Amino acid sequence: MTDAAALRCKSDAPPQRPRPIFIFGILPRSGTNFLQRLLCLHPDCVPARPWEDFLAYQSPLLEAYAHAVAAEWQPETARRLAGLIDDPPAALLRHLGDGLLGLLADPPAGPRRLVSKTPWVRHLDAVFKLFPDAQLLLLVRDGRAVVESGARSFWWDYHSAMQQWATAAHTILDFQEGHGHLAERFRVVRYEDLHLHTESTLDGILRFLDLDPGAYDFAAARDCPVLGSSEALRSGAGGLDHAAERGPQFAPLERWQAWGDDQLGAFNMIAGGAMLAFGYPLTGPGAAPATATGAGRPRPAGDGDAPADADPRTHHRAEVRRLLDAYRHELGEPIARRGHLELQLDGQPKRPGGSVAPSGPWSPLVSVILPVYNMAGHLPRAIDSILAQTYEHLELILIDDGSSDETPAIVADYARRDARVRAFRNPTNLGLIATLNRGLALAHGELIARQDADNRSLPTRLATQVRHLATHPDIGLVATRVYVVEDPAAERSDYIAPANYVPPSLMQWELLFANCFSHDTVVMRRPVVAAAGGYRTDRIHAEDYDLWSRIGRSAWIALLPEALATWYRNPLGVSGRHSETQWQTARAIARDGMSHLLGQPLAAAQADRVLDLFHGNPLASETELDRAAALLDRLQACYRATVELTPPESALIEAQLASRTAAARALLLAQRLMNECSA
């Protein structure tokens, strides 16, 4: 048969089996072992074979696979399948999910309900894509208890763990908001309710899961031991699979009671809003009730559905890129412990009289430094982009560096119209570096931001960066990507720089060899800038790269994947007029960074060989290449000894070095063959 009816699938849904139950913990140490044990006391439930499944955690790879398959179909085939199956990649995911359920229940669970768990909520929204019939329990626990338990059990860094808890909490709140139409399919459970009101809480959970409470052994639930207790782990009495009786020393709700005001204040600043959203009371500095919202990190704007007459393969290939990027570079997960910043919790920031009052649990004053010299034609666009920011608790420090055009009048006009603008003028032209350092001295804010007079910031730039710093206390500087525009009249372009996102753990590695982001996209913590000594006057035309390199030696630097600014290419700018000086200064900065990492001075010739190899410039001989490659290997070893990298990150650096070395050898071989042929 060749008609559409013959091609129609009998069903794009996997075969029926008992509805699985998935438990997702807000973080490890939230009690997922305990809840799974409690549920499996019911005769109609059985635990999954893997102790923890991590299926949603790694789901972008499966989603990318489904879209990659669809991207290979011919356009006509794709359109015809789309008319027969509701969203072919989604149908493929459902069938893959059914196969995964077979793995979880091996041997088959029969009529009993499978109970599986994962102690993370990363990629939570993939659960119902893979398992459309599943029911989901989202287990939350007081963040202070989770942080303290993780510090006792796994030596977590306190501030990083606070940030992780806040990030995971907002993932759950975002999920609730985005999946309200599926409210009957998932339920948020608080660990404290399980501990304090075991019977009533379990009764509600069982009814939600359509399990008969009359068949449940509540007496066994009240005496159920716990797995992986932090008390047992710390005392060496057992591992994560060790069952600990709930004796007199078992007090999971009191884990954090010894915290002082510094820890409580830091936690309230980072995670207070999410705690209130889950109904937990706060204590300590900043514990005043606040309006809790379910909004988490902003969702990236989607491209929408592909037009009906478009090639579906284009859409699916874009989805593959997006999903793999989310898998490789998800934000919000600290990777190592290095140079954590002390949070300033005492006192409020100074602010000029006309500033808008803080609007959240942590709304620091942001001092935006905008130096300008003879930029009257572009300056209003830059100023307007700052004054239109959705984050309004800012001061704009405008410093006219002795301009001879209409710039002074423009600066004075804005200062009259908006009290957030503070206007200054250098008596003579002092140059960019001296003007920037004057701006640092004039700034009142806890955070220092930059803006150039010939570029513009998008409205959500500062709000996004402040939120990132609030939830990542170990980050000292956060930058964004930019739209690079050739046409001065345009606002956006398809060209975004830098082309690739760099995670914080690899940022200082990248900064060893080149600047990684635009100067006027940064927001920096004031103590970090002060500790680094501000801008150095001997680093002319590369003063920004020099400052980032020094900041990165004691604090993490983050680059957000979003493009939140527009950079207008100017052939008469610094990079165009002073390219040779800038290049030489950048090489000196890179040499300083390599020497600092190695702990010994590095000759200019040695550093230049490494930079040539890293940037793909030809080397003179195989001997020179071998020397450069050996030094790169030493730098890599020192970096890995300094920063605790994950295996994929280590593999990324190794692959990077291998590809550059292979390309350099191929170039030398090609040159040798050409010379032999010409001879």
CA angle 672, 677, 679 (to 5 degrees): 95
User: Nearest Cα to 47, choosing from 111, 89, 109, 122?
Assistant: 109
- In the predicted model, what is the mean pLDDT of residues 116-145? 92
Candidate from 199-208, 503-512, 523-532, 567-576 with smallest mean pLDDT:
567-576
> What is the pLDDT confidence band of residue 77, given thresholds at 50, 70 and 90?
low
- Whether the ω angle into residue 107 lies within 30 degrees of 0, i.e. cis, is yes
Q: How far is CA 93 from CA 54, 446, 642, in A?
A: 16, 47, 41
Q: Please, which residues bridge with residue 458 across strands?
A: none
The tokens for 578 are 């002073």
Amino acid (one-letter) located at 453: A
pLDDT of 655: 80
- In the predicted model, what is the mean pLDDT of residues 289-301? 35
Amino acid (one-letter) located at 233: L
Domain with CATH 3.90.550.10 in the chain: 366-574
Q: What percent of the chain has pLDDT over 70?
A: 78
**Residues 617-671: pLDDT tens digits?**
888 888 999 999 999 999 988 888 888 787 777 887 888 888 888 888 888 877 7
Q: How far is CA 507 from CA 331, 515, 557, 559, 566, in A?
A: 14, 10, 6, 8, 22
> What is the pLDDT confidence band of residue 576, given thresholds at 50, 70 and 90?
very low
Q: What ranges in 248-390 are assigned the alpha helix state H?
A: 261-277, 312-328, 379-387
User: Nearest Cα to 398, choosing from 454, 451, 461?
Assistant: 451
Higher pLDDT, 228 or 4: 228
**Residues 402-448: pLDDT tens digits?**
999 999 999 999 999 999 999 999 989 999 999 999 999 999 999 99
114 phi/psi in degrees, rounded to 5: -80, 130
- 293, with CB counted inside 10 A (0-12, 13-18, 19+), is middle
> What is the pLDDT confidence band of residue 82, given thresholds at 50, 70 and 90?
low
CB-based contact 83:139 (threshold 8 Å) = no
> What is the pLDDT confidence band of residue 300, given thresholds at 50, 70 and 90?
very low
Query: What pTM does this model have?
Result: 0.50
- In the predicted model, what is the mean pLDDT of residues 128-147? 93
Evaluate if residue 350 carries a pLDDT over 50: no
Q: Is the dihedral of CA 563, 564, 566, 567 positive or negative?
A: negative
Evaluate if residue 140 carries a pLDDT over 80: yes
Contacts of 54 (CB under 8 A, 6+ apart): 118, 120
pLDDT of 492: 63
Three-class DSSP category at 531? helix
pLDDT of 268: 85
DSSP of 456-520: EE-TTHHHHHHHHHHH-TTEEEEEEEEEEESSTT-S--S-EESSS---HHHHHHHHTTS--S-GG
Q: What percent of the chain has pLDDT over 90?
A: 35
> What is the pLDDT confidence band of residue 616, given thresholds at 50, 70 and 90?
confident
Highest-pLDDT range among 355-364, 396-405, 593-602:
396-405
Evaluate if residue 8 carries a pLDDT over 90: no
- 290, with CB counted inside 10 A (0-12, 13-18, 19+), is middle
- In the predicted model, what is the mean pLDDT of residues 62-71? 81
Contacts of 626 (CB under 8 A, 6+ apart): none
Domain with CATH 3.40.50.300 in the chain: 12-224
Please state, in angstroms and rounded to a whole number, the distance separating the CA atoms of residues 566 and 391. Answer: 18
- In the predicted model, what is the mean pLDDT of residues 178-206? 91
pLDDT of 67: 81
pLDDT of 299: 30
**Residues 28-48: pLDDT tens digits?**
889 999 999 999 999 999 999
Higher pLDDT, 546 or 239: 546
Please state, in angstroms and rounded to a whole number, the distance separating the CA atoms of residues 429 and 415. Answer: 21
Candidate from 264-268, 486-490, 523-527, 529-533 with smallest mean pLDDT:
486-490
User: Would you identify the CATH topology of the domain 366-574?
Assistant: Spore Coat Polysaccharide Biosynthesis Protein SpsA; Chain A (3.90.550)
- Cα of first residue to Cα of last residue in the chain, in angstroms, is 68
Q: How far is CA 606 from CA 168, 514, 588, in A?
A: 45, 16, 12
pLDDT of 72: 75
Is 12-224 in CATH node 3.40.50.970?
no
> What is the pLDDT confidence band of residue 15, given thresholds at 50, 70 and 90?
low
Evaluate if residue 510 carries a pLDDT over 80: yes
Evaluate if residue 337 carries a pLDDT over 90: no
Please state, in angstroms and rounded to a whole number, the distance separating the CA atoms of residues 357 and 364. Answer: 10
- In the predicted model, what is the mean pLDDT of residues 339-352? 28
pLDDT of 294: 32
pLDDT of 673: 74
